[in-house]
Amino acid sequence: MIYKNYAIFTPGPVKMSQDILTIGAEQTPYFRNQPFSNIVLESEELLLKFLNAPKDSRVIFLTASGTAGLESVIMNLLNQENNALVVNGGGFGQRFVDICKSYEIPHKEIPIQNSNLSDISNRTSSNFDTFIINAHETSIGQLYDLNAIGEFCHKNNLLNIVDAISMFTTDEIDMKKHYIDIVVISSQKGLALPPGLTMVVLSPKAIKSIKKIQSHYFNFITYLKDGERGQTPYTPAVSIILQLHKRLQQIEANGGIDSTIEQARKVAQYFRESIKNLPLKLYTPYMPNAMTTLTPTDGKKASIIVKDLEDFYKVVVCPNGGDLKDKIFRVSHMGDMSIEYTKILVDALKDYYN
């Protein structure tokens, strides 16, 4: 098996707990019945609670990757009559730009470097109706200021679309506080589940903005109707939904979403403190709890470090591609992480540099 007995520190898929793995190994049950509907409805309720979603918000469960979730939002919420601001701070911001181009959505791209957008109101005009952002640009490990962005959107009445795929459960995201209308979440990152399930959370304002579209599979109107009874129009990722339900129950039992975020913060802080004397520096000052992005300062190529950790220590961290291939590598703190488990990577890095 690929990476069996390896320590995994990649930002998706991430390390899963044994409880979640056990559910995935069980026979997939029949799902067109009330017991499964109850699981979906309770999962929706917990997701809305953890996101502090406005009253009458809804969750759509898509059997698809996170990118499909992003595309489905653009398909269902925007058309040629809209005018969107799209933040592009890296590979995933570029993905949102490309999706808007594919659907010929009028938009303005905001290229971002070395900023968390706390000054967003000074960067652009308000002559738009939609704001689109990856709250955490996972390709470089940069977290944006959702408070400033939310205030900007609220003041100017912009529909606020947020990709929270790599920050939900590790960093604060509050739909009411941050004036967010649409949140996209995927299973394989902070939720620490297998890939294949994406959730789109819609506020009442977003629901009113849904268009009539030609898509059969990704039509939100159909999902909302079937979702009223805890079902999906087409066969869902049944086993992953069962795992999601268990994971959400675990979060609730362990003190709620704030406790889960605090655990990620402690792990991230431990890791960063433990390696501060090594020839590695943080790539950005706007790092989330979800992940640490590191730049070698001794001239060693990041791609070589990634390969050596895997070959000699059975530790898997995340490489980058393109221009950043030899400049940075990424370490995930998402999933079933603890200080004890993270010590495996810390010890490997310290030995590597001795």
Structure pTM?
0.96
Cis peptide before 13 (omega within 30 of 0): yes
What is the reported pLDDT for 4?
86
Structure confidence by residue, pLDDT tens digits, 25-52: 999 999 999 999 999 999 999 999 999 9
Lowest mean pLDDT among 66-80, 120-134, 257-271, 338-352: 120-134
Q: How many C-beta atoms lie closer than 10 Å to residue 223's C-beta?
A: 23
Domain 18-253 has CATH 3.40.640.10: yes
The predicted-structure confidence for 225-275, as pLDDT tens digits, reads as follows 999 999 999 999 999 999 999 999 999 999 999 999 999 999 999 999 999
Least confident of 113-127, 134-148, 285-299: 113-127
CB of 221 within 8 A of CB of 5? no
Residue 35 CA to residue 38 CA, distance in Å, equals 5
The C-alpha atoms of residue 108 and residue 128 are separated, in whole angstroms, by 9
- The residues, ordered by sequence, that sit 6+ positions from 194 with a Cβ below 8 Å of its Cβ are 13, 16, 24, 187, 188, 239, 240, 243
Please give the CATH architecture assigned to the domain spanning 7-13+256-352: Alpha-Beta Complex (3.90)
In the predicted structure, residue 102 carries a pLDDT above the cut 70: yes
Per-residue pLDDT at 125 exceeds 80: no
Domain map (residue ranges) of the chain: 7-13+256-352, 18-253
Going by their DSSP bridges, the two strands 315-316 and 7-8 should be labelled as: parallel
Picking from 274, 352, 277, the residue whose alpha carbon sits closest to that of residue 310 is: 352
Nearest to 46 by CA among 246, 198, 292, 346: 246
Q: Is the pLDDT of residue 312 over 70?
A: yes
What pLDDT shows up at residue 1?
A: 62
- How far is Cα 169 from Cα 260, in angstroms, rounded to an integer? 6
Grade residue 53 by pLDDT with cuts at 50, 70 and 90.
Answer: very high
Residue 178 has pLDDT above 70, yes or no: yes
